[in-house]
Every structure is written in structure tokens, then in C-alpha cells.
């Protein structure tokens, strides 16, 4: 029983901590996007802006594609429980 309580506490702490970090991360992204919203984004070689160009800057970015280990663990746990539940003959 103590192991189950420990597991539930750890899952809860992981969920709450991850949620807070994720919320702050997305707020940071939105704030940085607002700071750069005035910059025109061009995907072609042509200048489609009608105003004369007074200067230019090269802006680069990067993306990190990662896995959320907590969500993966939770999905596997739910799958395991569903498989155990529906594959038993206790109906």
C-alpha cells in the first residue's frame, strides 16, 4: 500500500511541476512573439512591403523537438490498465 501511495504522490508532483513549467514556457514564447510581431516575415526573395526598406536584420531561430516523459509514462500506464481490465475474464 505504501508503494501505491508513493507512486501516486510522485505522479502528482510530476504532473503539477510539469504543468507549471510548461505554462511558464508557453508564456515566455508568447511574450517573445509579441516583441517581434512588428517585424515583417518574408518567405520569398521579394520585398512585398510597400514602404521603403530603411534597414534589415537577419533573425534566426531553432526548434527542439522533444518527448514529454511524464505524458508518455502516463499513457503507457493507462494502456497497461486498460489492457489488464479488458483482457480479464471477470465480467
pLDDT digits (tens, 9 = 90+) for 42-84: 777 676 777 787 887 777 778 888 888 888 888 898 888 887 7
pLDDT at 91: 53
pLDDT tier, 25 (very low <50, low <70, confident <90, very high otherwise): very high
Torsion-angle region of 41 (φ positive above 0: left; ψ -120 to 50: alpha; else: beta): beta
pLDDT at 39: 78
Q: Is the pTM of this model over 0.85?
A: no
Q: Where are the domains of the chain?
A: 1-37+66-91
Amino acid at each position: 500500500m505504501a508503494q501505491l501511495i508513493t507512486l501516486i504522490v510522485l505522479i502528482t508532483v510530476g504532473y503539477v511541476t510539469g504543468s507549471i513549467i510548461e505554462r511558464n514556457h508557453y508564456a515566455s514564447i508568447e511574450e517573445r512573439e509579441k516583441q517581434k510581431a512588428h517585424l515583417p516575415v518574408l518567405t520569398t526573395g521579394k520585398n512585398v512591403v510597400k514602404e521603403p526598406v530603411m534597414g534589415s536584420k537577419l533573425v534566426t531561430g531553432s526548434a527542439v523537438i522533444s518527448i514529454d516523459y511524464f505524458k508518455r509514462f502516463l499513457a503507457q500506464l493507462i494502456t497497461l490498465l486498460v489492457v489488464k481490465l479488458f483482457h480479464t475474464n471477470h465480467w
